[in-house]
Amino acid sequence: MPSTIKDIKEYTGLSLATISKYLNGGNVLPENRAKIEKAINELHYEVNEIARGLVTKKTKTVGILVFSITSPFSGMILHHVGQALRKKGYGMLIVDSCDDEEIERKNVNYLISKKVDGIIVLPVASKGDFLKPVKRAGIPVVLLDRALADSQYDCVRITNRKSTYYAMQELIKRNHKKIAVIASEREYTGRERFNGFMEAMRDAGLEVPVEYQVRGKHSIASGYNGMMKLLTLKNRPTAVFMSNYEITLGAMLAINESGLKSPDDISLLGFDDQLFFHVMQPQVYMVEQPTQAMGEKAVELLLKRINGETQDGPMELALGTSLHRGNSIKTL
């Protein structure tokens, strides 16, 4: 049976108020302070955050709604968000949406019940209505990684379109003309990167036949099927841009199974650098996201809202990326 503040009271003979004051960093006579500390050690007292939360209406907990916890990208983000939160004395209640909008919707209510002080969302859905209950409950929200078309929330993301556009120049300047794309169309990031791709092609005066435009889900299967389709085309592309980690993985699987080799048979440009891409041959050209900065900025923004330090309208922060140069692109 864990001890409570009452036990400390019995032990020290002091009143609840004094002990509470001590617990919250208030001024207490040195001798009383000593008594209390002794009692705490003796009794192994640990504040009951539940009870505290009930009266302060603060749980010091931030909810994290993540589209899929198994994605390595999520792992990195979660790590950095967690670190930033820890530094500020907050914990995180992570809920995994499993890439499913239904689950995501339910998880929202769960977080509200848990009275989290704020929520960081890496959404599955593309529209913001699933967050209405949160808004109604007056809980601050920060979107991370993926923006919401109709959203009115703070958002931290990368410059998806520009990053893609820039990376595409690697292909273009090496004289590739027949460039295909495999992108997810379900979420914001996939669509933006697709747009960046198309802009780069347009500005380079290059055509993109519809059969070169493979749209799918954010999944390994999508990448695999997409690449397989591209590889069997009579007029096969010489290069392919893949819009995220999972798609890149699936696409490479397809290339392997087909007995082809990059960059000899096909050049590759991917998104979401993960160390593992460095251990394979060829090393793939990859757009790297600043996961640490993303996590930190999201936390910073959220805490500002939680503490009511800003009344400004929702802001959008788009961070730049860097390019990991590999050897997966052949010069034609």
Partner DNA sequence: CTGTTAGCGCTTTCAC
Partner DNA sequence: GTGAAAGCGCTAACAG
Catalog residues that contact DNA under the rule CB under 7 A. 4-6, 13-18, 20-21, 23-24, 26-29, 32, 45, 47-48, 51-52, 54-57
Nearer to a second copy, 76 or 201 (CB): 76
Block residue for tokens 């999944």:
219
Minimum distance from CB of 281 to DNA (Å)? 58
Q: Is the peptide bond before 282 cis (omega within 30 degrees of 0)?
A: yes
Judge residue 74's burial from the number of C-beta atoms within 10 Å of its C-beta, 0-12 exposed, 13-18 middle, 19 or more buried: buried
Distance CA 239, CA 78 (A): 33
Strand partners, 69: none
Tell me: does residue 1 bind a second copy (CB under 8 A).
yes
* x/- track of binding to a second copy for residues 205-244 (CB under 8 A): ---------------x------------------------
Max distance between CA atoms of the chain, in angstroms, equals 87
Tell me: does residue 91 bind a second copy (CB under 8 A).
yes
Nearer to a second copy, 32 or 68 (CB): 68
Distance CA 266, CA 162 (A): 24
Block residue for tokens 């998880």:
107
Nearer to DNA, 23 or 172 (CB): 23
Positive/negative CA dihedral, 27, 30, 34, 39? negative
56 binds, among DNA, a second copy, none (CB under 5 to 8 A by kind): DNA
Selected range binding a second copy among 68-76, 120-128, 151-159, 206-214, rule: CB under 8 A: 68-76
Nearer to a second copy, 33 or 86 (CB): 86
Q: What are phi and psi of 219, to 5 degrees?
A: -155, 160
Among 114, 127, 173, 202, binds a second copy (CB under 8 A): 114
Task: Find out whether 108 and 101 touch, Cβ atoms under 8 Å.
Answer: no
Distance CA 265, CA 279 (A): 20
Selected range binding a second copy among 141-149, 160-168, 276-284, 308-316, rule: CB under 8 A: 276-284
Q: What angle do CA 289, 122, 188 make, to 5 degrees?
A: 75
Nearer to DNA, 27 or 41 (CB): 27
Q: What are phi and psi of 264, to 5 degrees?
A: -55, -50
* x/- track of binding to a second copy for residues 122-141 (CB under 8 A): -----------x--xxx---
Block residue for tokens 């780069």:
200
SS3 of 323, please? Answer: strand
Residues of the shown chain interacting with a second copy in the complex, contacts defined by CB under 8 A: 1-2, 44, 46-51, 53-54, 59, 61, 68-72, 74-76, 78-79, 82-83, 91-96, 98, 109-110, 112-115, 133, 136-138, 220, 249, 252-253, 256, 275-276, 278-281
